[in-house]
Amino acid sequence: MENNFYESERNLENLESLEGESLSRYTAKTFFIMFIGLMISFGVALFIADTWPGYYLYWDLVRMTGGYLHIILLVAQLALSFGMSSAIRKSTVGATWGFFLAHCALIGLVVGAWLMLFDLESAVLAFAMTALCFGGMAVFGYFTQVDLSRLRNFLLCGLVFLILANVLMWFIPAIEAYDQIICTIGIVLFLAYAAYDTQMIRRLYEGFRGDGEMLKKASVYAALQLCLDFVNLFLYILRLLGRRSRN
30-75 pLDDT tens trace: 999 999 999 999 999 999 999 999 999 999 999 998 878 888 888 8
pLDDT tens for each residue of 170-189 = 788 777 788 899 999 999 99
The model's pTM is 0.87
Given this model, what pLDDT does residue 163 score? 87
Sketch the domain layout of the chain as residue ranges.
21-241
> How far apart, in whole angstroms, are the C-alpha atoms of residue 184 and residue 181?
5
pLDDT, mean of residues 101-125: 92
In one letter, which amino acid is 67?
G
Which whole number is the average pLDDT over 101-109? 93
**5 has pLDDT over 70:** no
Nearest alpha carbon to residue 210 among 17, 19, 18: 19
Torsion angles phi and psi, residue 244, rounded to 5: -65, 140
Q: Please report the pLDDT score of residue 20 as a whole number.
A: 62
CB-based contact 138:195 (threshold 8 Å) = yes
Q: What is the per-residue pLDDT across 11-36, written as a single tens digit (0 to 9) for each? A: 544 444 435 678 999 999 999 999 99
Taking the chain, what is the end-to-end CA distance rounded to the nearest angstrom?
59
**Mean pLDDT throughout 200-229?**
92
